[in-house]
Structure 1
Amino acid sequence: MYRIDIMTLFDETVGDMMNESILGRAQERDLLRIEAHQIRDYTLNKQKQVDDYPYGGGRGAVMQADPLYQCWRHITDTFGPGHTIFLSPAGKTFTQEEAKRLLNHYDHLILVCGHYEGIDERFIEECVDEELSIGDFVLTGGELPAMVVADAVARMVPGVLPDPECFQEESHYNGMLEYPQYSRPETWHGRTVPPILRSGNHALVARWRRKQSLLRTWRRRPDLYEKLDLTSKEDQKLLTELREEEPDFQG
């Protein structure tokens, strides 16, 4: 069973979010377990204080090393060693490839949510295996990034989604953006579903979707498009068709 433990100051909020919908049902079936741990429960301070002024001066406060350590130690003693990740703006950018790496290389993640001006560097040095960031911006705490990482990894655990195709064809999984999706009714506000999607020909539908993914990736994420291997005969045919059909396409 895949396990994710989240160290946080808002355990009820994080726990509720991670136990809803698809991830909640997966936990009921014992495919994975996501548990939030309240860091304040592991401080020896009667006021449940987990932060203090930073050495060297400056504004704000820093999360102390010992409450973090005691919480981390409880998790590792109870559930075994885990790959510990601190969610930090200074970390490596989290991507779909990183999510796949975490799923394939580890069966237990410990996610540490920082607050205030950060956490004591000594805890990072002693307990953290890597730092991850979900983007070049700063949030008020690490809970949202931790839930992003947990969700991205957990949804790929075998059995969580009904079929691997549920995530294998999505944006970023194979380096491209996902093709456009449509549902009923067939015509809405004068806009009609592309006829090929109503043809019943699965091979033609798959080909159309591949072509649309290529086009969308080229238009919206040229940085991703440049990394694609499009040397196959089928992709070369699709590129030729796109050049003929789309005047602006230069892929």
Structure 2
Amino acid sequence: MTWRASILSLFPEMFPGSLGHSLAGRALERGVWSLAVHDLRAHGIGRHRAVDDTPFGGGAGMVMRADVVDTALSAHIAQDDPRPRVYLTPRGRRLQQDDARRYAAGPGVILLCGRYEGVDERVLEMHGIEQVSVGDYVLSGGEPAALVLLDTAIRLLPGVMGAQDSAGEESFSLGLLEYPHYTRPAVWRGCAVPDALLSGNHAAIAAWRGAAAERDTQARRPDLWQAHLQGQAPARLLADPSRTA
């Protein structure tokens, strides 16, 4: 069954964007996933199709109206649609690899892209919309964040990635950052590939990769490292010693 993505945005022309290329683009052409983009402006108020208004309580910026978003959702999304509804916002919980797996395992997602200062909270609550952030920074709108979320899920769909076993070794899959990678030439500008990777000893390779992943996680993501130490993340090696590639 085709995995379906529906997007509500003031800038529908921003999609599929990068998702129209490479693995995701080829999967889109093959019908592995589908994309429907709906213009929020088409449901705006009055002759000028207004979609926003000043915030109650004062403050800078404008807020997207609840009635406009509600009308758009009702027009394009069935009430019994089982797909999770997600609003991309820096106020949301941070997107995790587990979220990507959950979205990929379902029938698809419905994404609401905000602009201005955000969306009236009432429509988010009324429609049971998850609030998700792709990072601790502010974007001009939800569209780039929507592309990020979609990419994390689409690449996990069956038939999208060429080497499915590689997904199990990537950063965050086991609660650690992924180990470093090297390829030819074995010596480049005086820098040599670590001896373990050239040994042909699969146990030694796996041990080196596991130690490197732990080292880099401890140095770059102390939050992940602490979770790893506390047993909140799997403590197994990042590579299978039995692999021959």
Q: Does 1:204 align with 2:204?
A: yes
- Once the 2 structures are TM-superposed, how far is the Cα of residue 78 of structure 1 from its aligned partner? 10
Amino acid at match of 1:70: T
Q: Decide whether the 8 Å contact of 1:87 with 1:132 is kept in 2.
A: yes
TM-score by structure 2 length? 0.84
Hey, what does 1:124 align to over in structure 2? 124
1:34-113 alignment, distance < 5 Å? 34-43=35-44, 45-77=46-78, 80-104=81-105, 106-113=106-113
Instruction: Map Cα deviations across residues 217-238 of structure 1 (whole Å, 9 max, x no partner).
Output: 2222232223224998x87xxx
CA shift, 1:59, in A, is 2.3
Distance 1:202 1:45 in 2: 67
Which structure 1 segments of 5+ residues have no match?
A: 236-251
Q: Any idea what SS the aligned residue of 1:85 has?
A: strand
Q: How many residues align?
A: 233
Distance 1:73 1:16, change over 3 A: same
Superposed, 1:89-238 pairs within 5 Å as 89-104=90-105, 106-228=106-228, 229=231
Q: Determine helix, strand or coil for the equivalent of 1:45.
A: coil
Q: Please say which of residues 49-58 and 15-24 is displaced more in the overlay.
A: 49-58
Contact 2:45–2:51 under 8 Å retained in 1 = no
Q: Structure 1-normalised TM-score?
A: 0.82
Structure 1 residue aligned with 2:27? 26
1:47 Cα deviation after fit: 2.0
1:18-44 deviation per Cα after TM superposition (whole angstroms, max 9, x unaligned): 222211111112111233322112335
Contact 2:14-2:143 within 8 A present in 1 as well: no
| Aligned 8 A contact 2:175 2:234 in 1 | no
Higher helix share: 1
Identity of aligned residues (%): 38
* SS of residue matched to 2:78: helix
Task: Report if the CA contact (8 A) 2:19-2:147 is conserved.
Answer: yes
Alignment RMSD: 2.5
